Amino acid sequence: MLLPLRDYRPSGSFPIVTVALIAINVLVYLYQALILGDRPSPYRMWVGFRVERLTLEELFLFTYGVQPCELFGRCEPFPPVSFPIWLTIFTAMFVHGGLLHLAGNMWYLWIFGDNVEDAMGRGRFLLFYLLTGTAAAFAQIAINPASPTPMVGASGAIAGVLGAYLVLYPYGRVLTLLWLFYFVRFVELPALVVLGLWFLIQLLSYTMNPFGGGVAWMAHIGGFVAGALLVHLFAVHPRFRRGAYWDRDEGC
């Protein structure tokens, strides 16, 4: 297992958008877990061969997560909502299915988001984040458009940030925890290796289990590819416009 712990490239300014995105995601999850939690909702649904009452938190996931079949009119919205159903493409990016889901996503955003925001500027970075998150959602929807299962989480948008970081700073050093059974080591690896392996794992995982077993692998792949392709349109620093990306001799 490779777990990035930090990178060594300082940000040129305070990453207010990255911090704000993390704060919003954390606050939404606290609302889910502490305010809604396991309290019963008025709704029931089939689970396996029996009907069970949904908790308020589960109902929240169905309300604000992306259900592919709803977007294309293949099923009725569940539960009925008072806003256009396409808005769930965006609301789903701020909803998580559990604490580990949230923590993993926010950890990657904290490590890699500040430098991408620095290269793009705040407004462009926010637009880039939402756009790659949208691309990620549609990549997952494309492989199973009739699915009624809600898709939630920021991982597709964050995959876009990872794709952008790889293009901008391929040789930037990343302190990484290398953990293989009893072998545990802290190593410094270039982003090209860390993020390249991350992307390869998503590809292999999708190949072995296309529908994920609860993980939207294709959303990760789609977000990463979208980020790597769109970064050239969003990076505004003169060095990036010239194509002089993070040079291997420049350090980090």
Tens of pLDDT, residues 207-244: 988 766 678 899 999 999 999 999 999 998 645 544 44
For residue 132, being part of any structural domain is answered with yes
CA 195, 196, 199: angle at the middle one, nearest 5?
A: 85
Task: Please indicate, yes or no, if residue 39 is contained in any of the structural domains.
Answer: yes
- Is 249 inside any structural domain? no
> Which residue range forms the structural domain that includes residue 207?
2-241
Q: What is the pLDDT of residue 11?
A: 85
**Hey, CA dihedral for 120, 125, 127, 129, is it positive or negative?**
positive
135-162 pLDDT, tens per residue? 999 999 999 898 888 999 999 999 999 9
Q: Is residue 87 in some structural domain?
A: yes
Q: Which residues of the chain have pLDDT under 50?
A: 238, 241-252
In a domain, 163, yes or no: yes
Q: What is the domain-level CATH number for residue 145?
A: 1.20.1540.10
Name the residue among 9, 240, 17 with its Cα closest to residue 124.
17
Query: Is 248 part of any domain?
Result: no
Per-residue model confidence (pLDDT) at position 252 = 36
- pLDDT in the model for residue 47: 67
pLDDT at site 183: 84
Number of domains in the chain: 1
Indicate whether 246 belongs to any domain: no
**252 within some domain:** no
Return the structure tokens found at 205: 């995982």
